Amino acid sequence: MEGSPRSRISLHPQAREIIYRIVKYFDKEKANNGPVMDVRKTLKRASEATMIPEGTISRICKLGKVTGERYGKPIFVEQKKQQPRTVTNLDDFDKIVLRRTVLDFNARKEVPTLDSITAELKENIEFKGSRDSVHKVLHEIGFWYSKVNGRKFLLERKDVASARTKFLREMKALKTSGYKSFVYLDETWINQNHTVGKCWIDINPENATGIKPPTGKGSRLIVLHAGTERGFVPNCELVFRSKNDGDYHKQMNRTVFKEWFISQLIPNIPPSSIIVMDNASYHSFQIDKPPTTSDRKAVIKDWLIKKGETPGDDLLKDDLLAMVKQHTSRWPRKYEIDIIASKHGHKVVRLPPYHCQYNPIELIWSQVKQYVAKKNNFKMSDLKSLISEALQQVTPENWKNAVNHAETLQRDDTSRDLAIDNFVDSFVINLESSDEEEL
């Protein structure tokens, strides 16, 4: 074989073992027959003898080692390279930290990279995953990479950023327009075997005391409630058992939520309240929902005709959907729950996607779950009463602090979004200016 070694080559495990033994032979030879040469010269000799790149030989030697003997000959073992852990199952609070970490980089006029974001997560929440894990979670919570004049930047999805801006402006306007009461509602779940993560125990089995938590999560109870800065809304507690079939959101459906909303929430909240909730599907059942690409042409035409449009028979499906889009852009969406609330003098405001930190009840749920974890005896028959006991432990002061915390986050994010917008705008302008100078 003539010419320089190839820069990249795939070798059979047996071939890698032979190369490893050649290097060790040269090491032994130089030690016995003359002054010790540096490692670089040994790798060079092995590369010249095998026509394998020095870098490849170096990696083989780093991963390979000889352990013991078999039939009088040393055994070659190739160690597996340790891969960083893939961790993507972050809870909601950790995802909040991740989002704010990225946005804080921009607010400080620094360009966030996967390495810098991962480093901050490791420091702030003891994140155990790799940069690839961070990349996957970022995509999940609405971030993406975009090219600006040939350079890649980590940006928040426009629809997510726009929804946050709209929510923050709406809440600020409502708080200065005469509304006195803001009601925050949400659902959570508590498993039968919910317990604390760690506790002190006697390592001597003979002295072991207390209840040993069973394996698995057990059955599950779903909790639905609402509160204001003065505490939980009276008579709004709803706790029921869920099926063990995955996500608890599947058990909370439109019928259950609507009945609770009408019979337990509306009669017990102050007049002219602002009701804050997330975008769960059962919160947002849309009346007269526009057709989509999955609908047949006949269905789309019927919907347009009911809206006063006159679609021609020669129109394609894409043409009909374009007419639907034009019509819906002129009229806001109508949600069943919003109409019910409006009839009773209330207004519904929905949180932006991936921003549960704006709902103070999230902090209340954390407090409730901590209480249950400490008192739980892992009996399903006692769990419901324990949850009610935990809810009673939440004081008006706890609610006031949680609401103040959420409002502080909203004010901070309003200022930060403006700073980020100015930074990104100036950065893009600077890039464009430099490109013009080069031309």
Structural domain boundaries of the chain?
13-78, 92-156, 167-287+334-418, 290-328
What pLDDT is attached to residue 372?
94
Q: Measure the CA–CA gap between 284 and 350, rounded to whole angstroms.
A: 9
Q: Give ∠ CA 9-10-13 in degrees, rounded to 5.
A: 135
CA distance 69 to 76: 9
Report angle CA 113, 116, 122 to the nearest 5 degrees: 135
DSSP letters for 211-228: PPPPSS---EEEEEEEEE
CATH number at 167-287+334-418: 3.30.420.10
Angstrom CA distances, 305 to 47, 236, 295, stand at: 77, 43, 15
Nearest alpha carbon to residue 324 among 351, 340, 301, 350: 301
Residue 342 has what pLDDT?
Answer: 95
The C-alpha atoms of residue 27 and residue 65 are separated, in whole angstroms, by 14
Do β-strands 151-156 and 220-228 pair in parallel, antiparallel, or remain unpaired?
A: unpaired
Strand, coil or helix: what is 294?
coil
* Contact criterion met (CB below 8 Å) for 120 and 101: yes
Closest Cα partner for 141 from 357, 371, 377, 338?
357
Give the global pTM: 0.71
pLDDT at 368: 96
**Closest among 86, 91, 159 to 128, alpha carbons compared:** 86
Share of the chain residues as helix, strand and coil, in percent rounded to the nearest 5: 50, 15, 35
Ranges of the chain with pLDDT below 50:
1-7, 36, 201, 248, 429, 431-439
Distance between CA atoms of 192 and 214, rounded to whole angstroms?
A: 10
List C-alpha distances in Å: 180 to 184, 228, 254. 13, 11, 28
- Listing DSSP states for 296-312 in one string gives -HHHHHHHHHHTT----
The pLDDT, as a whole number, for residue 163 is 93
**pLDDT score recorded for residue 85:** 58
Closest to 55 in 3D by CA, of 63, 66, 47 = 47
- The three-state secondary structure class of 84 is coil
Name which of 330, 24, 15, 390 is nearest 194 in CA terms: 390
CA 86 to chain centre: 14
Residue listed under structure tokens 């028959």: 381
Distance CA 56, CA 19 (A): 10
Return the sign of the alpha-carbon dihedral for residues 348, 352, 354, 359. Answer: negative
